[in-house]
Chain A
Amino acid sequence: MLTQVDRGGGVSVAAPVSHFYRCAASTAASRQHFSDREESAAAPPVTSQTSWIDSAFLSLRFSEIDTRKINNSFLRDHNYATEADIISTVEFNSTGELLATGDKGGRVVVFQREQESKNQPHRRGEYNVYSTFQSHEPEFDYLKSLEIEEKINKIRWLPQQNAAYFLLSTNDKTVKLWKISERDKRPEGYNLKDEEGRIRDPTTITSLRVPVLRPMDLMVEATPRRIFSNAHTYHINSISVNSDHETYMSTDDLRINLWNLEITNRSFNIVDIKPANMEELTEVITAAEFHPNQCNTFVYSSSKGSIRLCDMRTSALCDNHSKLFEEPEDPSNRSFFSEIISSISDVKFSHSGRYLMTRDYLTVKVWDINMESKPLETYQVHDYLRSKLCSLYENDCIFDKFECVWNGTDSVLMTGSYNNFFRMFDRNTKRDVTLEASRENSKPRAILKPRKVCVGGKRRKDEISVDSLDFSKKILHTAWHPNENIIAVAATNNLYIFQDKVN
């Protein structure tokens, strides 16, 4: 699919889907809004505008106080949400220049950060639509009478090696490698066909000319370069590119396959936890990831709350783990739903490779890969839900799979919650904050106000009670720029991009 990108700032897109996204225009006004919450009580007094997050919270020092904040949001212009527009994955590339989102309708939308320009310093670093394409289509497996959903489960970028960008996108069964490249020249002056491509009548050709390349309006095209299919019986839940830049792995409920990026007709099975008798099945794989630096090491998480670290050098089939990270269950917390809430929904290596972060239904845990017996740190995301598990089970929310992300320096963790809330935890200061991704506070340059859920007793003004939380508004997917404090938050069918203030 071709996307016409007008570098002047507006975007006109050939594909029909682009009109769903609108970049919030930047205005001069910005709003300061602070509430006296406990978590900000200890913050240094703020005299004027400050960053979108409690500045001390992030332990970042901003030497200048600048009034221009930029909030980019890509919000649907209509209020109804079509299911196909629900964002199902968000991922920055390795430089943070590009941001890819996948949705339930099988589409991928790639945003590109604007280059900073001296003429318009206030437009620093806004993200605009760069390319949109249909990655996966719904398929029907006739043999099993199964429809294969086109929903994009994961997108992972490949490290950039030339002018083109490459990403892997996957649905339940098939992984595709897409090449996104720019074209700004086109050949003109063919002999046998005219400018529209129609074949010319040979009898009208009286002379020969050499076609030349002439500049044209920039076009961004996405082409599928590899299709890796037919390797998974169960539903693919993750893909991870290896640090060797040659291989990647795809993970379904029971197996992990290793692929070479060049070869599509063969993959190697490196983990298989399928029992000989399916009746004995007790756990499934929920996520897997390669170590960021060691190309022989990867981890996978299970529905039982354990993480296994494997070394591919030990054997061809890594069913035997090198390390098993498991915390003994707290018997006092036992309930009907203990197994469901201990299932790990996401596992991420820190950028350093030294730590692991896991997300289960109520907590985020940080593990040191040198210590298997228990996590280093445990953070409660929304412990007030612990007493509501029965109703969350009835409305299916207990099965929601939240993701978690590290910031670039591995000092802050971020994960989503309900009511369009998302949470951040600072590992150093042990402070945490709850923020909301909503239209009201996504006016350009609006500062995000910390939110608080009150668990009982007297509800203060501006607090929200647990029973008023909207469980249909869940933030499952978030991403953090690899180097800067820019975050992308997917709230159902809207994408919010928040940045800290301009320095």
Chain B
Amino acid sequence: MDITAEAKQVMVHALSKMYSSRTQRGGLRLHRSLLLTLVMRSARDIYHSARLTSEEKGQSDTYGVTENTSQAEEPMDTTSSTTAPLRSAATQATEDGQRSGREGHSQIHDPAGLTVDKENCNPTKLDRPSRKRRSKTDTDPDFLPCKKAKLEFVEVRGILQATQNNSAICGRALDSLPLVPMPRTIVTF
């Protein structure tokens, strides 16, 4: 299982780098976030294909858990207000996307601490970021409709569009920056 362990390590590092980049000076770097996303995807693909081959060989699955249909995160926009919080099943801690830049603490979660039973096994994730501030004890699954979150989404989008109108006068009209939608689910282990 060497390659799967390595893939896991790579994904773990990518996640922690993404988290720490949210509090970095200068805002999110699009290029770096894109590269991390690509690394995550390629590690996930390698992990899955390695596990598939190992399953075909009849080896027992040491994790014994239904894997979530994980999809990679979307690349981060540089604007912190649109930062889609990375959602991993064990991140019950704060994932306050729009205030990430200003918050003093950055929750660097150890995804290796993910435990299976807290996993969100919902493949049909609603395609919107959850702006809800999460506490450690908050175990509300996010697929439940949350009116407050939706409102904030709309507000933030309105602010963004206003920003776009005020910014550069380019030869072309600037299209409004779409909010980066919620990544569907993080790879779980």
Contact = CB atoms under 8 A, between A and B. Distances in A.
Contacts of A278: 74-75, 77, 178, 180
B35 to A, nearest CB: 5
A339 B42 contact: yes
Contacts of A185: none
A147 B26 contact: yes
A144 B171 contact: no
A376 B183 CA distance: 41
Interface string A282-302: 111010000000000000000
B107 interface: no
A265 B46 CA distance: 49
Interface in B1-59: 6-7, 9-10, 13, 17, 25-27, 29-32, 34-35, 38-39, 42-43, 46
Contacts of B6: 336, 390
Contacts of B74: 278-279, 281
A59 B180 CA distance: 54
The residue in A237, A253, A336 that gathers the most chain B C-beta atoms within 10 A of its C-beta is A336
A396 B10 CA distance: 12
A399 B168 contact: no
A343 B32 CA distance: 11
Contacts of A172: 26
Nearest to A398: B35
Interface stretch (B78-86, B112-120, B132-140, B141-149): B78-86
B99 interface: yes
B169 A303 contact: no
Given A145-B99, A146-B27, A149-B26, A269 B171 contact: yes
A169 to B, nearest CB: 17
A81 to B, nearest CB: 17
B30 A339 contact: no
A9 to B, nearest CB: 39
A27 to B, nearest CB: 42
A267 B167 CA distance: 12
A265 to B, nearest CB: 6
Given A143-B159, A269-B171, A316-B171, A393 B78 contact: no
Contacts of A266: 169, 171
B159 A232 contact: no
Given A278-B74, A278-B77, A399-B32, A338 B42 contact: yes
Given A253-B31, A286-B31, A399-B32, A235 B42 contact: no
The residue in B30, B77, B174 that gathers the most chain A C-beta atoms within 10 A of its C-beta is B30
A160 interface: no
B108 interface: no
Interface string A230-274: 111111010000000000000001100100000001111100101
Interface string A311-349: 000001100000000000000000011111001000000
B105 interface: no
Nearest to B27: A146
A145 B177 contact: no
A279 B10 contact: no
B39 A339 contact: yes
A339 B26 contact: no
Interface in B164-188: 167-172, 174-175, 177-178, 180-181
B34 A303 contact: yes
Contacts of B111: none
A120 interface: no
A71 B168 CA distance: 45
B170 A235 contact: no
Nearest to B30: A253
Nearest to A149: B26
Interface of A: 143-149, 151, 172, 230-235, 237, 253-254, 257, 265-269, 272, 274, 276-279, 281-284, 286, 303, 316-317, 336-340, 343, 390, 393-394, 396, 399
Given A146-B26, A399-B35, 12 more contacts: A144-B27, A147-B27, A233-B167, A233-B168, A233-B177, A253-B30, A267-B168, A281-B74, A282-B34, A284-B30, A336-B43, A340-B38
Interface of B: 6-7, 9-10, 13, 17, 25-27, 29-32, 34-35, 38-39, 42-43, 46, 74-75, 77-81, 98-99, 101-102, 159, 163, 167-172, 174-175, 177-178, 180-181
26 contacts: A145-B98, A149-B25, A233-B168, A233-B177, A234-B30, A234-B78, A257-B168, A268-B171, A269-B170, A272-B172, A274-B175, A279-B180, A282-B34, A284-B34, A286-B31, A303-B35, A316-B171, A317-B172, A336-B10, A336-B39, A337-B39, A340-B39, A343-B31, A390-B6, A393-B39, A396-B17
